[in-house]
Structure 1
Amino acid sequence: MKYLALIAALTPMTALAQTDPADWDAVVAAADGQTVYWHAWGGSTQTNDFIAWVGEQVAAEYGVTLEHVKLTDTADAVTRVLSEKQAGEDDDGAVDMIWINGANFAAMKEADLLFGPYAEQLPNWALVDVDGKTVQTDFTVPTDGYESPWAMAQVVFDYDTADIEAPMGSMQEILEWTQANPGRFSYPQPPDFLGTTFLKQVLVDVLDNTSVLAQPATDENYDEITGPLWAYLDELTPNLWREGRAYPPTGTAMFPLIADDELDLSISFSPGAASAAIANFELPETVRTFVLDKGTIGNASFVTIPYNSGSKEGAMIVANFLMSPEAQSRAQNPDLLGYGTVLDVANLPAEDRALFEALELGIATLSPEELGTVVAEPHPSWATRLADDWQTRYGVAQ
C-alpha cells in the first residue's frame, strides 16, 4: 500500500503527551472547548447515529465538540497524517482520532505517529475485560496503550432459515452448499475489510495448523500456506452470486441482497448486526446466524490518537466515554447497533451491570456460549498480501 511506502521514508519521532493522561482532572479541564475530528468508517446509518449520540454526550458533559469525518477506507486517514508529517505540520493536524486496527495501526505504531501511551491511564480502562478479550493486542501487535478498545467483533454467517434448513459447520460445508445452490452466497470484494476477513476465515478453517499465521508472511512461506485458500476459492467462485463476476462493495451491501431474496447466506463481523437489521426492518425475521465448529475470527475495534492532534485531551475524553457502561450498553443494544462489549460485565457495579442485563440481544444473536471459540486474527501482513493477491486472481471492476 502507498501509505506503507511513505512510512518507510519517514524518520521516527516519538509522540509525547501534552497533558498527562493519568492526570484526569487536567485532561478534563484542557478538553473543554476542543473540537475532535474523529475519522471513522461512515458506511452504516446505525454506526453514524451512534457516533452522533456520543457527540451529544461529550458535548453536554465535557464541552467537547465531536465531528465525524466519514471514511470509506481507514488508510485515507493514515495517509493524511503521513502527508502532514512530511509537510512539518506537527502541532495541529486535521485528524484527532481514528477508528483503526490491523495493518493501519501496525504501520502508524512502527513509524511513531501515535500519541501516547494513554489508553490504560483512562478512568474507564479499569472496567475493561483485559483477561477475557483481545484488547491489548491488535492483529497480534501489542497495543502498548496507544489505542483504546470500544467494541468487540466476531465473524458470523447470516442465513435465511426460510431457504437453509440448518447451520453449516465448516468452510467445506459452505462450499458444498454453494455447489448445490449456486448464486445464493457472496462476500464483499477485497480490499474491503469484511471481504479480506472472509479470505482469512477461509484460511484459518482449511489449514490444519494456523500457528504460522501469528508471524509475518514471508516470501518463503506465503505460497505454501495460502495454496489451500486459492484452491478453495477456485471451486467456490463460479458458484457465487453473479458467478463471481461481481461482488458487493461493502458488508452493508449484503443485507439488502438477503432482503431482496438474491442471497440466502452472507458473512458479518458483528454477531448482533442481523438482529439489529431485523429490528430496523432491513432483514426478514427468518434470518439467523451461525459460527463454524473450529471457531471464527474475532477482534476488538480500537480508537487511536495521531501524534499531531491539536485536541488530544478531547480525544481522550471521547475514548474514555466509549468505554463507559452507558456507551457500551447502548452499542450492544441490537435495536441500535448490536456490537459486543469490551467490558467485564460480571464485575461491574450492580447499577452498571443492570444496563446489560436489561438488554434483549435479539432473535438472531447467538449467546456468548453459542459463539464458541474466538480465533485470533493473523498478523496484519497476511491481510495485506491476501487482498492484493485476491485482486490479481479474482478482482473485478466496481
Structure 2
Amino acid sequence: MPPFARPAAAALTLSLLASPAAAIPTADQVLLDMPFERVGDVAKGTTVDFFLWGGDDRINAYVSGWLGARLAERGITLNRVGVGATAEAVNQVMSEKEAGVLSGGAVDLVWINGENFRSLKENGLLFCGWPTRLPAAAAIDWTDPAIATDFGTPVDGCEAPWSRAQFVFATDTARVPEPPRTMAALLAWIEAHPGRFAYPAPPDFNGAAFVRQVFASVDGGREALAGPFSQAAFDALAPKAFAVLDRIAPKLWRGGETYPTDVAQLDGLFANGEVDFAFNYEATVFGAGVENGRFPATTRSYALDDGTLANVSFLAIPFNAADKPAAMVAAEILLSVDGQYEKARPEVWGMTTVLDLSRLAPADAERFRALPRHPAVAAPEDLASRAVPEASAAWAAAIEKAWIARYGH
C-alpha cells in the first residue's frame, strides 16, 4: 500500500464538501475548468494509485495490464492497490482527514458504490464535478436512475459509473435440471432439499445481497426497499423477512449452524458438489469458472423471473488525492469505448458496459452487440428485463447489522 500521505505532483486541495454546489477549493476549480488535453499534460510523470477489490485475477489483469499500458503511453504510472474490501480505502481516506492530511493522500482513484460511497460523500471526502468533464461522459446517460443515484444516494457529480452488475443464481443443470425460477420456489426448494443450499454470512457482499433479496421478496418488501429508510419501515418489514430466514436456517448447509465466510467459500462448496447453488453479483464468474475447470460444464446462471437486485459500481476521487489529473485520465480511459469494450469481452472480464449504445457511433455500438457470450453466463437481455433496483445504503446497512445481531456471525 502507498505511504499514508505523500506530496502531490499537481495542485492540491485544502478541503472539499460533499456537494458540488458547495465552495470548491481554488486548485480543484482550476482543474475542473482546464481543457481535458491540458489535464493529460499535467498528469504526465505522475503515478495514479488505484484502490480496488483485488480478489479476481481477471480484473487485476485488466487493470494492471490493459489500463497500465495505456496510462504508460500517456506518461503516467499505474499503481494498482488491491484491497480485500473497499472499506479499507474508505478508512484510509477518513483516517487521513482525521489526521489533518488534507492533500497528498494515498488514494487517487477508488472503485466504489453503496455504503462506502455514502460514507465518503456525507463526510465531504470526495472531489466532485469531474465526471462530466471527461470526453467519455458524452456517451453516458446521466439521467438513468441507476447512474444518477448509488444505492439511493444522489451521485451529484461525485463519482463516475464504471460497471453494471446484477445478482444471479447458478446451478449445475446436470444435478438440478429444472431450477426454481422465483424466490418463493427457491425457498421451497431449500426446505425440500436439506443441506444443499448455503449463503455466505454478511458482511460478505454477496451474502448480504442474498439477504436483501429475501427482504425484497416478502409482502411489502420491494415497495419498502424502494423508498427512504426509516426505523418504523424497517421494524415493520424485518420480522417478516427474518421469519423466512429463520425457517430455512435449519435446512441450510450444516444445518445453518455455520455459514460460509465469503463467496469464495460458497464457490468451493458448489464446485465440490456439496451444495447445488451458487450466486454472485457478477454472472461472468460462472463462465470463467467453467473455462478454468472449477465449475461443471453444465453450470448455468440465471435471474429469477420475479427479479434480482441490480446496481452500478463507480469510480471516485477522494478530496485529498495526490494526483487528481492522473486519476481523471485513468477514469477517461476506463470509460472510453475501447476501455468499456475491452472490459466487456468475455475472455477479459465480461462486464456489461455503462455506456448508452444509442449515443455511440453505429460501428462502436455494433462492437458491443456482437460480443459473444459464454453459455454459463445469463443473457444480458434476460437480466435487464428482471432487474430490481437496489435498496438505499441506509436500508442495506440496517439489514446487515440486524442479520449479524440475530445470527451471531
Task: Indicate whether the TM-score tops 0.5.
Answer: yes
Per-residue deviation, 1:15: 5.3
- Superposition deviation, residue 339 in structure 1: 1.3
What is the Cα deviation at residue 21 of structure 1? 6.0
Aligned pairs (5 A) from 1:45-194: 45-130=57-142, 134-194=146-206
How far 1:223 sits from its partner (Å)?
1.7
Instruction: Say which SS state the counterpart of residue 220 (structure 1) adopts.
Output: helix
Runs (5+) with no aligned partner, structure 1: 1-9
- Please, which moves more after superposition, 95-104 or 242-251? 242-251
Partner of 2:11: none
What is the aligned partner in structure 2 of residue 394 from structure 1? 407
Does 2:342 correspond to 1:303? no
Gaps of 5+ in 2: 1-14
Q: Is the 8 A contact 1:325 1:355 kept in 2?
A: no
Q: What is the rounded CA distance, in whole Å, between the counterparts of 1:257 and 1:336 in structure 2?
A: 25
Q: Name the residue aligned to 2:396.
A: 383
TM-score normalized by the length of structure 2: 0.89
Determine the C-alpha separation between the residues in 2 that align with 1:132 and 1:161: 35
1:138-157 alpha-carbon deviations (Å, 9 max, x no partner): 01111111101111000110
Structure 2 letter corresponding to 1:303: L
Could you list the runs of 4 or more consecutive aligned residues of structure 1 that deviate by over 6 angstroms after TM superposition?
none
Question: Does the CA contact (< 8 Å) of 1:58 and 1:65 recur in 2?
Answer: no
Cα pair 1:183 1:241 within 8 Å, conserved = yes
- Report the CA distance between 1:315 and its aligned residue: 0.6
Cα-to-partner distance string for 1:233-264 (whole Å, 9 max, x where unaligned) = 00111111222233222223332322211121
Q: Which moved more, 1:149-158 or 1:207-216?
A: 207-216
Tell me how far apart the structure 2 counterparts of residues 244 and 21 of structure 1 sit (CA, whole Å).
Answer: 56
Output the CA distance in 2 between the equivalents of 1:355 and 1:284.
30
Question: Which residue does the alignment assign to 1:349?
Answer: 361
Decide which moves more: 173-182 or 154-163. Answer: 173-182
The yes-or-no answer on 1:195 pairing with 2:189 is no
TM-score of the aligned structures, taking structure 1 as reference length: 0.91
Q: Structure 2 matches for 1:16-31, cutoff 5 A? A: 16=25, 17=28, 18-20=30-32, 23-31=35-43
CA distance in 2: counterparts of 1:351 and 1:60, whole angstroms: 27
User: Residue 363 of structure 1 is aligned with which of 375, 389, 398?
Assistant: 375
Q: Does 1:293 align with 2:305?
A: yes
Maintained 8 Å contact 2:110/2:316: yes
- State the partner residue of 2:348: 336
- Matches of 1:121 and 1:252, distance apart in 2: 38
Distance 2:155 2:66 in 1: 24
Letter in 1 for 2:406: R
What is the distance in 2 between the residues matched to 1:188 and 1:15? 42
Contact 1:58 1:317 in 2 (8 A): no
Q: In structure 1, what is the Cα distance between the partners aligned to 2:39 and 2:89?
A: 25
Residue aligning to 1:249: 261
Q: 2:224 aligns with which of 212, 227, 231?
A: 212
Question: Would you say the 8 A contact 1:189–1:395 is kept in 2?
Answer: no
For residues 152 and 225 of structure 1, the distance between their equivalents in structure 2, rounded to whole angstroms, comes to 28
Alpha-carbon separation, structure 2, partners of 1:130 and 1:361: 27
How far apart are the structure 1 equivalents of 2:145 and 2:226?
17
Determine the C-alpha separation between the residues in 2 that align with 1:260 and 1:218.
42
Please state whether the residue corresponding to 2:311 is helix, strand or coil. strand
Worse-matched range after superposition: 265-274 or 147-156: 265-274
Cα deviation code 1:108-148 (max 9, x no counterpart): 11121100211111111111244557112101111111101
Match of residue 227 from structure 1: 239
Further displaced range: 24-33 or 241-250: 241-250
Residues 1:241 and 1:335: Cα distance change in structure 2 (over 3 Å) = farther
* Deviation of the 1:354 alpha carbon: 4.0
Q: Which of 280, 284, 290 lines up with 1:278 in the alignment?
A: 290
Cα distance, 1:198–1:22 mapped onto 2, change above 3 Å: farther
From the superposition, tell whether residues 245 and 45 of structure 1 become closer, same or farther in structure 2 (CA, over 3 Å): farther
Aligned-pair Cα RMSD in Å: 2.1
Please tell me whether residue 261 in structure 1 is matched to residue 273 in structure 2: yes
Point out the more displaced range, 330-339 or 37-46: 330-339
Deviation for aligned residue 1:324:
1.5
1:381 alignment partner AA: A
What's the CA shift for 1:216?
Answer: 3.9
Kept in 2: contact 1:167–1:290 (CA 8 A)? no
1:161 Cα offset (Å) = 0.2
**Percent identity over the alignment?**
37
- Counterpart secondary structure, 1:20: helix
Looking at structure 2, the residues matched to 31 and 139 of structure 1 have their Cα atoms a distance apart, in angstroms, of: 32
Aligned length: 387
Tell me, yes or no, if the aligned pair for 1:186 and 1:248 is still in contact at 8 Å: yes
Q: Aligned equivalents of 1:130 and 1:241: distance in 2?
A: 43
Q: Quick check: 1:273–1:339 contact (8 Å CA) kept in 2?
A: no
For 1:247 and 1:229, the matched residues in 2 are separated by 18
Report SS of the residue matched to 2:201. coil
Q: How far 1:65 sits from its partner (Å)?
A: 1.4
The equivalent residue for 2:6 is: none
